[in-house]
Amino acid sequence: MHEFLIKYINSFATKPLNGSEIKLISNTFVPKKLRKRQYFLQEGEVCKYMAFIVKGAMRQYSVDDKGVEHIVHLSIENWWAGDRESYVMLTPSIYNIDTWEDTEMLLITRADMNELNQMPAITQMARKLDENHSIALQKRLNASISMSAEKRYTEFANCYPEFLQRFPQHMIASYLGITKETLSRIRTQAQKK
Amino acid sequence: MHEFLIKYINSFATKPLNGSEIKLISNTFVPKKLRKRQYFLQEGEVCKYMAFIVKGAMRQYSVDDKGVEHIVHLSIENWWAGDRESYVMLTPSIYNIDTWEDTEMLLITRADMNELNQMPAITQMARKLDENHSIALQKRLNASISMSAEKRYTEFANCYPEFLQRFPQHMIASYLGITKETLSRIRTQAQKK
DNA sequence: TGTTTCCGTTGACATACATCAACACATTTT
DNA sequence: AAAATGTGTTGATGTATGTCAACGGAAACA
């Protein structure tokens, strides 16, 4: 199971991991399985682990005063799940994270991650991840400030076609910050063209 | 002028910088001054430098099809300016960055930054910055997806009261993803309460 | 000193999107 | 097999926010 993670880390590294490093990593990341619809994190808890997803699909969302869910993050294989803010600051999370498919993941605590940061490959990966994460968030923020719902959807569909297959439409809608009805109408309109 | 930067870096470091490190940093970061309303970066250019702001105020914004500006970032002393995506990926930026006050800053290229990453203090700072940046963006994204314009404004006003003094209202509005008229109405309404 | 530009406010009106409700269909549960 | 639940669609209506236009005052400019 860890081989996916090793492969993933190597894809960021200038030098591939050696045997002892692989061993250490494999011993540090703890496997965990969750059935569909189970919580990985609930609002109010501190997020103790970051999860590398080996197989499956998850979502992260907040719930507003009216009980409406707002999805801030969707993730599948080779992505990470977890609330960075809570994980880094050790504060209670305002988000829920749960699985949408049966999911296998590899967990790591903040402390263990700090240990592993001895390894150059890990440091490189972590930096690169942070960078990519920031860039992606920046793009989404710009989209959400400056683009119409329709444009946000088409851009999303281009960028992440696989997500359209894996998640139901109302989750995509929530992720885009619109209602399922609006997304439905956008789609039928787009087809006419 | 570099002393502000040194102080700033030390605030992230477990051990303060020593003499030779300070010297190296001071030699690497290049001072630059810009008058009010001058461009630091224009759409289509690659962002070669990250700028540490010693004094002044800047904004980063995209311009949509209709010519409307959408501010994605505001920054003042002890913040950074620059388009991370362009800086990291070496792609042409879709953003403009300009000064709103006369501004003094310290510039660094990506290559030089990689060199400085030999120093633990710099590495620690960079990581911490990336983390904080991600967290802040995540918060904003969640706000923009799940909160009303009014709530976004009051939260912003609480979080960054100084920005209300330094930037005109129409920029704050743009930053919040609303028009100046809407912000004006929100403010008069809020006062009545 | 006058002139221009910028800034914030207000009003009338437009519109993108939300809300609410009903329905058909598929999937899961019992 | 029946019942319950989840999913996507469509229509009627509501509302937050945008758009356009006008105005007054402040600041920048000439």
Q: What is the pLDDT of residues A151-173, one digit of tens each?
A: 999 999 999 999 999 999 999 99
| Contact yes or no for A136/A156 (Cβ under 8 A) | no
Mutate to test the interface with B, among A85, A138, A183 (most CBs of B within 10 A): A138
Please state whether strand C lies within 7 Å of residue A28 at its CB atom.
Answer: no
Query: Which residue in chain A is spatially nearest to B133 when comparing CA positions?
Result: A134
Q: Mark which residues 140-179 of A lie under 8 Å from B by CB.
A: 140-142, 144-147, 177
Render pLDDT for A74-92 as a digit per residue (tens, 0 to 9): 999 999 999 999 999 999 9
Please state whether strand C lies within 7 Å of residue A57 at its CB atom.
Answer: no
For B84, the closest of A88, A89, A134 (CB atoms) is A134
- Strand D: residues with CB below 7 A: A 168-170, 180-181, 183-185, 187-188; B 66, 68, 148-150, 177-179, 181-182
CA neighbor of A177 nearest in space, from A132, A137, A144, A136 = A144
Residue A94 and residue B89: Cα distance in Å, rounded? Answer: 32
Residue B137 and residue A140: Cα distance in Å, rounded? Answer: 10
0.75 cut: is pTM over it? yes
Point out which residues pair with B54 in neighbouring strands: none
For A137, the closest of B64, B127, B138 (CB atoms) is B138
**Sheet bearing A80-81, strands edge to edge:** A30-34, A103-109, A49-55, A80-81
pLDDT range class, residue B193, cuts 50, 70, 90: low
DSSP state of A35: -
Q: What contacts B60, CB < 8 A, 6 or more positions away? A: B41, B71, B72, B73, B74, B75, B81, B83, B95, B96, B97
Residue A127 and residue A4: Cα distance in Å, rounded? Answer: 19
Structure tokens at B169: 């209202």
Whether the CB of A113 is below 8 Å from some CB of chain B: the reply is: no
Q: Please report the pLDDT score of residue B176 as a whole number.
A: 97
Q: Please report the pLDDT score of residue B192 as a whole number.
A: 65
Please state whether strand C lies within 7 Å of residue A149 at its CB atom.
Answer: yes
Q: Which of helix, strand or coil describes residue A117?
A: coil
Burial of B99 (0-12, 13-18, 19+ CB in 10 A): buried
Q: Please report the pLDDT score of residue A11 as a whole number.
A: 96
Residue A140 and residue B141: Cα distance in Å, rounded? Answer: 8
Q: Please report the pLDDT score of residue B65 as a whole number.
A: 85
Residue A144 and residue A124: Cα distance in Å, rounded? Answer: 30
For B135, the closest of A88, A138, A144 (CB atoms) is A88
Please state whether strand C lies within 7 Å of residue A148 at its CB atom.
Answer: yes
Q: What contacts A25, CB < 8 A, 6 or more positions away? A: A2, A5, A6, A9, A17, A116, A119, A122
Residue B1 and residue A94: Cα distance in Å, rounded? Answer: 40
CA B184 to chain CA mean position, Å: 25
Q: What contacts A115, CB < 8 A, 6 or more positions away? A: A28
Q: Please report the pLDDT score of residue A191 as a whole number.
A: 76
- Give the position of tokens 């759409």: B43
Render pLDDT for B52-101 as a digit per residue (tens, 0 to 9): 999 999 999 999 988 899 999 999 999 999 999 999 999 999 999 999 99
Q: Enumerate residue ranges in chain A where pLDDT < 50.
A: none
Taking the CB of residue B129, how many other CB atoms lie within 10 A of it? 15
Residue A13 backbone phi and psi in degrees, to 5: -90, 150
Q: Please report the pLDDT score of residue B58 as a whole number.
A: 97
What per-residue string of b and e applies to A113-150 under the rule 16 or more CB within 10 Å gives b? Answer: beebeebebbbebbbeebbebbbebbebbbbbbbbebb
Q: Output the distance from B68 CA to D20 C1' rounded to whole Å.
A: 15
3-state helix, strand, coil in chain A (%, to 5): 50, 25, 25
Chain D bases near protein Cβ (<7 Å): 6-12, 16-21
Distances in Å between the Cα of B188 and the Cα atoms of B150, B185, B191 are 11, 5, 5
Could you tell me what percent of chain A has a pLDDT over 90?
93
Residue B164 and residue B171: Cα distance in Å, rounded? Answer: 10
Q: Please report the pLDDT score of residue A192 as a whole number.
A: 65
For B145, the closest of A72, A89, A146 (CB atoms) is A72
Q: Output the distance from A67 CA to C11 C1' rounded to whole Å.
A: 36
Structure tokens at B78: 């002890």
Cα dihedral angle (B177, B182, B184, B185), rounded to 10 degrees?
Answer: -140
Q: Please report the pLDDT score of residue B12 as a whole number.
A: 94
| Contact yes or no for A153/A186 (Cβ under 8 A) | yes
Whether the CB of A184 is below 8 Å from some CB of chain B: the reply is: no
| Contact yes or no for B99/B36 (Cβ under 8 A) | yes
- Within B29-119, residue ranges assigned H as helices are 84-89, 110-116
Asked if B84 lies within 8 A of A145 by C-beta distance, the reply is: no
